Structure formats: C-alpha cells, structure tokens
Structure 1
Amino acid sequence: MQLKKTALIGAAIAGLLASGYVAAQEQFIGLPSYRVGPFGSNGASLYGGWIDYMMMVNERDGGVNGVKLSWEECETEYNNARGVECYERLKNKGPTGNSTFQPLSTGITYSVLEKVAQDKIPMVTIGYGRTDAADGRVFPWVFPMISTYWTQASAIVNYIGQKEGGMAKLKGKKIGLLYHDSAYGKESHAIMDKLAEKHGFELTKVAVANPGNEQQAQWLQIRQLKPDYVVLWGWGVMNATALRTAAKTGYPREKVVGVWWSGSEEDTIPAGDAAKGYTAAGFNVAGTNYPVVQDIQKLVYAKNKGNMEDKSRVGSVLYNRGVVHGIITVEAIRKAQEKFGKGKPMTGEQMRWGFENLHIDNKRLAELGAAGFMPDLNITCADHEGAGKLKFQQWDGAKWTVVTDWIEGDRQLVRGMIEESAMAYAKEKGITPRDCTKEM
C-alpha cells in the first residue's frame, strides 16, 4: 500500500514537472502601477508595454531558461504613501521575494530609497528618480539607468545649441524652465543652473502646481519674458495644457522642447493642432516597425492576451518605454542566471548583481529586435546610468518623427555633479562608499 502511495505521489510530481508547473520556477516581479488618477493613462501604457513584453517572453521562450515570469500589480495612483504600501505588500511575494522594484515615480523612489537597501531589493528607475544614485559606490541598490534627469537636461541644452548653430550661440539667450512643482520637476534645477552658468544663457524657472491643468499665469509670465526656448518639464495633463496655452498666447511650439515624460501621444493628441511642431526628448522611439513590437503583436495580441484595452496604443512612446523596462528586467534575470544558475529564479541580491553587470550592446539589441529602439547600455559598479543618450522626436500633427540621432549630455559636468552629490549624501548618512576596483 505504501509503495503504491509513493508511486502515485512520484507520478503526480512527474506530471507537474512535465506540465512545466513548478511553483519555485517562477521569477516574481512586483508592479507598483498606476492606472487611475491624473496620470492613469500614462501608467496604463507604460505598464501595459512591460507586461506585454513579459507575456511575449513566456509565450515565445517559455520564460528565461525555463523560468516563467510572473507578476502582480499594486495600484499606487502615483501617490507616495500608496507607493510605500505597495512596496511593503509586494516585497515578500513569489518564491524568492520581489526581485526588483520599479515605481515609475520620482516621489515614490525617494520614499523607499533607504528601504530597498535594508531589504536588499534592487530599485530600477529608468529615466527618472534620484540622479546622484547613478554613483553605484554610494547607492548599490538603486539603478537610474539609461539617462538621468541631469544627463537629459544637458542633452536638451546640447540639442538647443545644435539648433542655434553651436554651443557658443547660447550666450545671451533666454531659456524658460516650465516645471512640475514636485520632486520630479525640481530634479532639473541644479543641472540647469550649472548649464546656464557654463553657457551664459539666462534661465527663468516657472513652477506649475500639480496636476497642472491651469497655466494662464505661467504663460503670461513666459510671454512677458519672451524666452528663446521653453523647456517643458511636465507630466500628465500638464503637458497638453502647456501646449494649448502656449498656442493661445502665441508662443511657437517649435521653440518648446520637452523632457521624455512630456513627449508621448498622451501629451500631444489631447492638445490637438496646438502640439504640431513640438519637439521632445526620448530614450526610446515610437512605432510598431520593430521586430520586438511585432513579436508582441503576433504572439500576444493575435492570441487575445494583450494587456492594452486600446490596441491602437501599442507602439506609442510610453508603451514602447514599457517594453524597454521589460527588456532590461529580463536581460538582468538572464545575466544573473549566468552567475547563479540557469533555470533558477533569482533573489533580490542576485538580481542586483545582474543589473550591475548588465551590458546590452548593439549586437544584442539587434538580437532582441530592438536595434535603434533604445540605446546600448553598459552598467558597472560605479556607473548605474550606463548610457546617457537620447533622441529627439517632433510631432507632425499625427505622429512622432525622429529628428536626431542619439545625442549625449555633458558627461564630464554631469558625472562631476553626481559624484559630488553622492559623496555628500554618503557623509550625511555615514555610508562608506564601495571600492569598485575590488568588485570588478
């Protein structure tokens, strides 16, 4: 009887193995998403692209070396307190705990900055968050990858300089900084002040209170100032409102240059004709003419499994940005498995190593179907940014058109500011910076 019972249990286990279902063979990724509130449309596209990419990897590849990707969303409403609640709710989920925390919110990033170090969960803040966290010697658990806000601001100024015929032409120019009055918006101040000093342009900062759907006073100030350019550092409804109000006050949209959180279809379509001619930065491009997006359409949406209710948004700027999050997360899992064991789910500590040793060159991007879709990436112990490049796209009234190749920021200036700020933080918190020469 016992032999028979044992045989039945063995057969059941063998059946589970054959079916591919083994609970421990899942890589859990907690998603602190936002699909409601003033930024809900943006969040739906971002997290939709990310989830669709993970679905596609599960469908096409069976996961990462046999480890299926699993996830759970927790609604933050882009609210800092809710973001902390979601962090706590998600951190112990899955067989190895939450393997990465990516809140897509600068405010939430600051709110859990010390928690992730205590809990040993890598926080990836692609294109947002605390800029000086790019110094991995002081912030080993935070990864502001691809391009920080300071790099982005510097690249925008470089782009304006190119339009003017050279950086020397910026001397004496007036630039307005219309910014979201939050931790996100204020992240631009230190670098823009430095750039104004270096290049000799006059900088005027104009704050817009959250959510930003009333800007008459701000654009009256801009009209009186008569700046040569306005840098739009907005988010959500603030962006379309800015473009509409600029049109009403007669300010040319060709002179408005947005950050990447101001450069999506969610910003331009609601603005209507007022958005035509507007240019914005981006660390990814729009479009469905990339193999990675086409694989998602073929392997996910053709099977009615896609995350986006509005399928027309597949291939939009923010959707594709979500795909970038998926690519980087999956490639970090793959990298971590190379060291800690293929076919095994990775812990937060192992994932941190995967992120810190992540190298996605142009050859790998081509293999992933993402050549030209995002910049190449090289993360190291000391440098958690790893790229520092962005392209500029212009809205033609119906779609985004890329108008530049990859433009880099002022690497020397930005890195110097990052190191100075990070070391000040280390001194304040009593942190001994890592010696990265010993971790190579």
Structure 2
Amino acid sequence: MKQTIIAASLVLATVAGSALAADQFIPIPSYRVGPYASGGAKFYGGMIDYLNYVNLKEGGVGGVKLTYEECETEYKNDRGVECYERLKAKNGGASAFNFMSTGITYAVMDRADKDKIPLMTMGFGRADAQDGRAFKYTFPLITSYWSQATAKIQFIGQRLGGMDKLRGKKIVNLYHGSAYGKETIPVLDAMAKKHGFELKHIEVPAPGTEQQSQWLDIRRERPDFVVLRSWGVMTPAALKSAQKVGYPREQIVSNWWGGSEEDAIAAGEAAKGYIAGSFALDGKQFPVIQDIEKVVYGAGKGNLSDKGYMGTVNYNRGVVSGILMVEAIRAAQKKYGAKTLSGDQIRWGMENINIDAKRQQALGVTDMFPQVRTSCQNHEGSGYTRFMQWDGKDWKPVSGWIKADTSVTLPLIKASVEKYVQEKGITLRDCNAEK
C-alpha cells in the first residue's frame, strides 16, 4: 500500500500549541517513513488523535493539558535510542514511551530503569516483563507474545472441536528469522508437549520476501495448521506462497503484527480466509471512534490527512495505546494530585490501571479490547487474545476473547525472571511492602 495514502506531517508537533512545563508531556517515538511506515502512521495517528480528543473534550486530564512531540525512529534501534535521549527530559520530563518496536525497547530498557520512565510495550517486547517485581518500568499491557502463542493453540483446538482433538495433529510454526520470530518457540514447544501434537519449526530469513522452499516443505509435511509469526513484507509473501502450493488460508493463524489491512490487501485474493490474532478490534462502531471523528476531525485537528483510515486495525490500536496512557495518568492523579506528574508517578499509575466493564462503557470502548487491571506484580493486566478472519474486504471476528494458558506461561516467566535477576544482580521488589 502506498505511503501516500496515509500522508502525515513529519514535522515536530504539539497538542494545543507549544509544550509547557505545567502540561503533561508525552513523547511520540513514531515511524512514518521506512518499510513499516503505513502501519506506524496509522498507529501513532490514532494515539495522537486520542490525546487531542481528551484535550478538546475535557481540557486535558484533571485540568492538565496533554502535550506531545514526535521523533522519527524509522523503526531503527539507533534512531530510537536517539529519540529517547532527545525527549526524555523535555518539557518537564517524559510521561512514558511507546516505541511499538521490540528492538528499540530492548535497547532503552536499562536507560529507562535508571531514568525512572515507564515503557509501554502493548502487545510486543519481553513477555516476562509481566512480572513487575523484576521489571519495574516495563509494561506489556493487555497481552504479550507468550500469552498470544497459547491463545493461538487454544483457538486451533476450538476449530478442531476441543483441545483433546489436538493430539496427533501436525502444526508448523513458520517464523520470521529474528529474535522476535524465535521468541515464542519455547511456548509452542510447551503447548505441543501438553496437548500431544507434532510441531515443526520452519524459519524464514528476514525480511521474509523469499519463502518458496519453506512452502514446498509445508506442502510435503501437510500440516493441519500453520501458525505464522510474521511482520511487514513477510505476511503477504507467505499468503501468496500458500496460494501457490494450494495450502488453505483458513488453516493459517497469524499473530497480530501480521493481521492488519496492509497485510491482507497487499496479498490480494491470496489473503481471503486468513486468520490473525488481535488485542484491539477494528471498526468504527465504537462510540469513542465516532466521537473522535466528530470532535477532533470536526475541529480540523485530525492527525491523518484521510479520516477514511479511522477504524482500521492499526489506527484502533493507536487509540487504545492513548487510552491506556491517559488512564494511567488519571490513576496517578488520584494518588499524587491533578498536576504535572513525573515518569515515576505515572509508573505507579500504570500499576493501578482498572478498566473494567463499567469503565469501558464510560470510555466508549466496550469489547474493543479486553478489560485491563494491573498491579505491582502483574504488568500485563489481561492476557486475552481474540481472532479475526479476512473475508476479502474486512476483518470479521471468529472467536471470543481467549485467555492465556497460564499453566504454560507462568512457569516460563518464572524461569526467565530468575535468570534475568541473576544476570543483572538485582533483587525482586516486595510488592506487599509497596502497597
């Protein structure tokens, strides 16, 4: 999809004029150029639109205006670190960062801990950061890669008629040849052992445009399902390759970063029937999206030049990111007062988010994403995934919210955390002592 369809200004911008120390500053480390520009422009466009919406609708949070400044990362680690250093102390200090990049997040985690600035890793990053005792400033809000991997297998079990039907089946894990792609291998191995299915891992070298030999291998293997862990150009390449070898797209289940309009439309007819996970549903049926269009775009303050991209998967994910950021600020204000807050105070707010059914209704986001309740020990706050299927034009839900299989994820998190604290020479926080 051409970048021009999501044209957006690359200049540094602020909400409601220049950022003042008396305002709450939110850095925006976006990527609107480069290979992932289309998705990045929509995501950060949705997030900025929500910040604008809160300012226009409520005058900010507790009377404190929200301000922001963009910094272009191009989805590159070095550029992301530069943006972090440039923005972390501006305008009274950064509230939190959301890089929407696992690589950049890894590159700045130690810095953020030292600077006491929270990192939002909504649907990406380290899954073991769910344990806030070890990862005080990192928040894999809503759900993580490991939670989603268990949900994929549960969804396949549903399609087969029950989890017991998995025994003896064959599943191929086709994954991006990177640390990101390999991250869920231990979880899938554990699920295979638990449910008795055969699992074969097949790597696709990055960036993923060449997959002919891998799909010939899949054709020989004749698996019952393919779980796809893709990103960027790998997704449409996989779908087109599946079509060439005659593999049913209805038996391909991807993760959320392979499940956007950009992924499906780029594959054309080959995408029809393809299934992907989601932690935030698409569509303009949600009252918050309709009100953003009315309030923000009605005032000529919309971030995207074409409001037709409102309601798309990545746009709605961006809105959800904005909602979680604002709800963390609201929670922190209840403890520290309606004033400009430090990053460490907002970290406390992120540990005390409570978006239950009542709050979702008030926000106009009922069922747009699962209910979220965080704590000192639980920085994920949910762990649910929903699946959707491409019908050739739109994504359609094909499951309810599926909870992570914690019997698999928690032991893996525990082992990973133990290794992490030993390597770093740190002591786990006592959450009871901090209440």
Give the SS at the match of 1:154.
helix
User: What whole-Å deviation, never above 9, does each CA across 1:224-272 have from its counterpart, x for those lacking one?
Assistant: 2211111111111211111111111111000000111111101111111
Aligned to 1:265: 261
Aligned to 1:78: 75
- Counterparts of 2:243 and 2:306 in 1: how far apart (Å)? 29
Q: Are 1:438 and 2:433 counterparts? A: yes
Aligned to 1:35: 32
Aligned to 2:8: none
Aligned counterpart for 2:417 among listed residues 411, 415, 422: 422
Per the TM alignment, residue 216 of structure 1 is displaced from its structure 2 partner at its CA by 1.4
CA contact (8 A) 1:179 1:208 kept: yes
Deviates most, 286-295 or 220-229: 220-229
Deviates most, 238-247 or 371-380: 238-247
Q: Are 1:88 and 2:85 counterparts? A: yes
Q: Are 1:24 and 2:38 counterparts? A: no
Aligned to 2:329: 333
Aligned to 2:396: 401
CA contact (8 A) 1:106 1:183 kept: no
Deviates most, 358-367 or 180-189: 180-189
- Counterparts of 1:292 and 1:82 in 2: how far apart (Å)? 33
CA contact (8 A) 1:42 1:236 kept: no
Structure 1 residues 160 and 21: alpha-carbon distance in aligned structure 2, compared to 1, 3 A threshold: closer
Paired AA for residue 98 in structure 1: A
CA contact (8 A) 2:19 2:91 kept: no
Q: What's the Cα RMSD here?
A: 1.4
Paired AA for residue 43 in structure 1: G
Deviates most, 118-127 or 406-415: 406-415
Give the SS at the match of 1:94.
helix
Per the TM alignment, residue 79 of structure 1 is displaced from its structure 2 partner at its CA by 1.0
CA contact (8 A) 1:122 1:143 kept: yes
Per the TM alignment, residue 24 of structure 1 is displaced from its structure 2 partner at its CA by 2.7
Per the TM alignment, residue 292 of structure 1 is displaced from its structure 2 partner at its CA by 0.5
Aligned to 2:384: 389
Per the TM alignment, residue 21 of structure 1 is displaced from its structure 2 partner at its CA by 9.0
Structure 1 residues 20 and 189: alpha-carbon distance in aligned structure 2, compared to 1, 3 A threshold: closer
Paired AA for residue 25 in structure 1: A
Structure 1 residues 114 and 331: alpha-carbon distance in aligned structure 2, compared to 1, 3 A threshold: same
Matches within 5 A, 1:43-62: 43-62=40-59
Deviates most, 136-145 or 164-173: 164-173
Aligned to 2:10: none
Identity over aligned pairs, percent:
55
Matches within 5 A, 1:307-346: 307-342=303-338, 344-346=339-341
Paired AA for residue 427 in structure 1: Q
Unaligned runs of at least 5 residues, structure 2 = 1-15
Unaligned runs of at least 5 residues, structure 1 = 1-18
Per the TM alignment, residue 309 of structure 1 is displaced from its structure 2 partner at its CA by 2.5
Give the SS at the match of 2:257.
helix
- Counterparts of 1:307 and 1:178 in 2: how far apart (Å)? 36
Aligned counterpart for 1:233 among listed residues 226, 229, 232: 229
- Counterparts of 2:23 and 2:30 in 1: how far apart (Å)? 20
Paired AA for residue 383 in structure 2: G
Q: Are 1:411 and 2:402 counterparts? A: no
TM-score under structure 2 normalisation? 0.94
Matched length = 420
TM-score under structure 1 normalisation? 0.93
Give the SS at the match of 1:261.
helix
Aligned to 2:63: 66
